[in-house]
Chain A
Amino acid sequence: MALLEVSDLHVEFDTYGGTVHAVRGVDFRLDEGQTLAIVGESGCGKSVTVQSFTGLIPMPPGRIVRGGATLRGHDILGGGRIDGKEVRGREIGMIFQDPMTSLNPTMTIGDQIAEPLQVHAGMKRRAAHARAVELLEMTRIPEPAKRAEQYPFEFSGGMLQRAMIAMALSCEPSVLIADEPTTALDVTIQAQILDLMVDLQRENGMAIALITHDLGVVARMADEVLVMYAGQVVERGSVDDVFYRSAHPYTLGLKAAMPTNQGEGEQDLQPIDGSPPDLFAPPVGCGYAARCPFAMEACQGQPPPVYGIREAADAYDHESRCWLHHEDCDIAAEGVHKGE
């Protein structure tokens, strides 16, 4: 049984301009100790996916139209409870994009870390505070006892993200959801935070769902990768499959948009032309058809099904949502891995 399983998730937002179909049928599963990366450009629905099943999007205007989310087989859709006990903070820890604004400015760091311990573990204030200092030490913050008495404005961005991690892990959750945890940090700090997450995962065996738009972060962290576009998963597979045997044209586009300056692989940035489709009225066919260099007639009118790419070399299925994988399609699409 999967640790965390999300199936057929559909999320909409009601706005003055109409209904935004932000997430249109996302499935994924996460096993213990595994790291799943969800990648895609801004607005593709990756944050909404994790924030909706954990109940963090404002409802209304947000709405989970259908779908399911289970943790060890228990239904938790919308951030529910298992055996009457809160899931968030206890079973699922979360960290967010901007640590500068994600902490309460008028509460000490120590108090904020101690809060879940008091609420979920029933610890007394003093004990929870002592544990908070240990947690700060675990995230390698120097002088943790002194730091616990300080307020967020006295911390740097990287330090705040460490404190956020300490807070998210305070109740030893089985899942850590990291929603673009390094986007707001500068590059050297990014590496430190990612290393810290990997080390902590090795120590306590938690699963990580990592949302990012940085393919470098994906390559470094992930076991399995989910590529999202226009509210749908367009390709999934092991990190090797997705990077070296990319099956969806959008994944190819993303890779081409990542410049490198290393040795023979040197490559300029090639942007993907156009912009993502309007999610007020999602296209009937493939969401990527308008920007895809290999688009065919079928792509406009028929939504492509998910094709399994058969020779997946490892434990993760390799799938792609693209008509190019249809058995009758004989277009030679350069770079697209068709399997067999």
Chain B
Amino acid sequence: MSKVPRNFRLLEELEKGEKGLGPESCSYGLADSDDITMTNWNGTILGPPHSNHENRIYSVSIECGPNYPDEPPKIKFVSKVNVPCVDSTTGEVKSSVFHTLRDWKRAYTMETLLLDLRKEMATPANKKLPQPKEGATF
């Protein structure tokens, strides 16, 4: 397999997001649809069922740097959330703690990241954590 360069990889992800081809439980798109560098993205995660996140929609912002996807993107919760891998003051997902960022692989996408975060929110240890009021932001 040859390496798909950053921009064409991001275009693929963008198209998948716009056409809604991915799973319903997450969504992502360019923050600025004019940004030819495709750096800043918005994402949402639908709170996993049977947890305190059920029925909530969490907003995140994602930054794909010039070395994406060789290097993981930066991801930050905009909606307040209480999960150990998320910095409780800034909303940043801690790359040293969250395994998907820590053990990032080139094949991972923003969708991988969002779905893994959703799984993280649903683990037995995390699903019953008390959550801030819905709608609060960092």
Q: Note whether A and B form a binding pair.
A: no
User: Which of A's residues lie within 8 Å of B, judged by CB?
Assistant: none
By a beta-carbon cutoff of 8 Å, the part of chain B in contact with chain A is none
